[in-house]
Amino acid sequence: MKEDYFLLVELKLGNKEAFSLLFQRYYKDLVLFGGNYLRDKVRCEDIVQSVFLKLWLDKEELDIEISLKAFLLRSVRNGCLDEIRHRQVVREHESYAELFGNLDDMATENYVLYSDLESHLTDALNKLPITCREAFEMNRFDGLKYKEIAEKLEVSERTIEVRIGKAIGLLRHYLKEFFITILALIIA
């Protein structure tokens, strides 16, 4: 949108009215878009507000090579996916704590190992090609079947199989140094 380009130029100059216009133009749609990933309107609103806050704080360094709308949608999607991953880690930790009661020294060590692994997993996921990452996360984190993912992304089921297979192969490569850690967590 040409108007977005001019508003971005004004935003870079610190024009609060330009920022306000962009916020008003995209806020509601971005919250609704976030609802495709999270069924929590308040959390979607928080994520969208964070995206706009970052947009304002980084206004002078902005270098948006795609459309502003695409940039905002990608930022909200990434924020929602981060929230999904965070929720899964919290659930897994709660399950672990429930099973083993209060964490003793061994459990604390396992938790530190798990946290480190989770951090490296996040880094590894961020290295994946976006199409592979998206399919993998929809399958592993959202629990969608290949057919459901294929319908959502409007590609063949075989394409989803290939993308997820590639993601798994790359993750194995990126996380090979954590094989022993993974075994320790499984055994504990």
Q: Convert the pLDDT of each residue in 96-141 to its tens digit.
A: 767 665 545 455 555 545 666 677 788 888 999 999 999 999 998 8
| 114 shares a domain with 62 | no
pLDDT of residue 115: 63
Neighbours of 74 (CB within 10 A): 13
| 69 shares a domain with 30 | yes
pLDDT of residue 80: 94
pLDDT of residue 63: 82
pLDDT of residue 23: 94
Taking the whole predicted model, whether its pTM rises above 0.95 is answered as no
pLDDT of residue 64: 80
Which residues constitute the domain of residue 118?
A: 102-188
pLDDT of residue 74: 93
Q: Is residue 59 part of a domain?
A: yes
Segments in the chain below pLDDT 70: 1, 97, 99-117, 178-188
Q: Is 160 in contact with 150 (CB distance < 8 Å)?
A: yes
Cβ density class 24-47: b for 16+ within 10 Å, e for less = ebbbeebbebbeebbeeeebbebb
Please identify, among 49, 80, 111, the residue that sits at the C-terminal boundary of a domain: 80
Number of folded domains that form the chain: 2
Backbone angles phi, psi at 62, to 5 degrees: -60, 130
| 182 shares a domain with 136 | yes
d(CA 15, CA 40): 32
